[in-house]
Amino acid sequence: MVKESYTVDTPWGLNARSIQKFVSDGRENQPQPLKVGIFVCPGFLPMDINGTHSVFTIVNAEIHFIWKRKELIEGYSGWPTMPTMTFEECPDDLDVLTVGMIPPEVMEDLEVINFFAEKGKTAKCVIGTCSGSLMLGAAGLLVGKRATSNANVVNMLEDLGAIAVAGSDVVIDGNIYTSGPATGSFDASLLALKDLVGQDLAAMVELAIEYDPRPPFGTGSPELAGPIMTKIAQDMIAPLNRQYSISSQQGYALYQKNTKNT
C-alpha cells in the first residue's frame, strides 16, 4: 500500500493527520477518556450502532468493536467490519456497552449470552437498540426492568422477564437504556452521555453532530404510517420476527440453565 504524505499509521490502519491531531488534542483535556464497547457480529445492523459511535466519537472516547475474534465480518448488508477487541480483552469497567439489531441465531450463542450477562452488569451504561434489546433480555439483564424495542418485537420482551414499554422512545431503568431502531441509537447514546458527563456537554455534542431528525414522509411509526402500510411492512418481516421470538427465548433459557449450574 502506498502511504500518502497526509496519512499516519494507527493500530487499525492509515488515517489522516488532521483527524488524528484533532482526536489527540481533544484527549489532552480528558484525564480519562470514556471506554465504549460496541458489539458487532456477522449480520449486525450498522444503523443501530452508528448513533453510539457518532456521539462518543465527538467526545474522543476509546471506542472498541467487540466480537469473539478479530476477523473480518459483514454487517447487514455489505458493510465489512474488523472487530478491534475480543471478549477476553474486554475490560470490566466499560462506560458504555451497546448492541443493535443482530441476527436471531446470535441470541442462542452461549458464548455471546455469557459475555453480555457478565459485562452488562459491570458497564455503567448498557444500550440496546431495536432488537438488540432482545439480546440483553436473553442474557438476563432485563428481568423486572422496563424496556422497549421496535414495534414488531417489543411484546417479546415480556417472555424474557421484562416489562415491555411500547412507543420506541428511550426507556431507562437502572444502567439499561433501550430504544427503537435507527435514531433511537442517537437518542439513547446522548442520554447515556448526559448521565456520564453532564447535560451541558451532551447538549454540545447534539449540536456538534447537528442531530435534528426531520423525516420526509412522516411514516416512521405504525401510528404515523397507518394500518395498511403497517400491515404490509409487518408481513414482510414476519418470518424473521418469528425466529427472533424463538431464538431470544431459547437464549434466555440457556442463560437460566447456565446460571443454575454455576
Interaxial angle between packed helices 110-122 and 227-260, expressed in degrees from 0 to 180 and rounded to the nearest 10: 90
CA-CA distance, 227 to 237, in Å (whole number)? 15
Q: Is the dihedral of CA 106, 107, 109, 111 positive or negative?
A: positive
- Kindly state the cell numbers that stand for 184: 433511537
Q: For residue 125, indicate whether it is catalytic.
A: no
Sorted by sequence, the CB contacts under 8 Å of residue 177 that are 6+ apart come out as: 125, 126, 127, 128, 170, 171, 188, 191, 192
Q: Where are the alpha helices (DSSP H) in 29-157?
A: 50-58, 110-122, 132-138
Of 116, 91, 93, 98, the C-alpha closest to 106 is: 116
Q: Which residues pair with 37 in a beta bridge?
A: 64, 97
Distance CA 233, CA 248 (A): 22
Identify the helix (H) or strand (E) that includes residue 25: helix 17-28
Residues assigned a catalytic role: 130
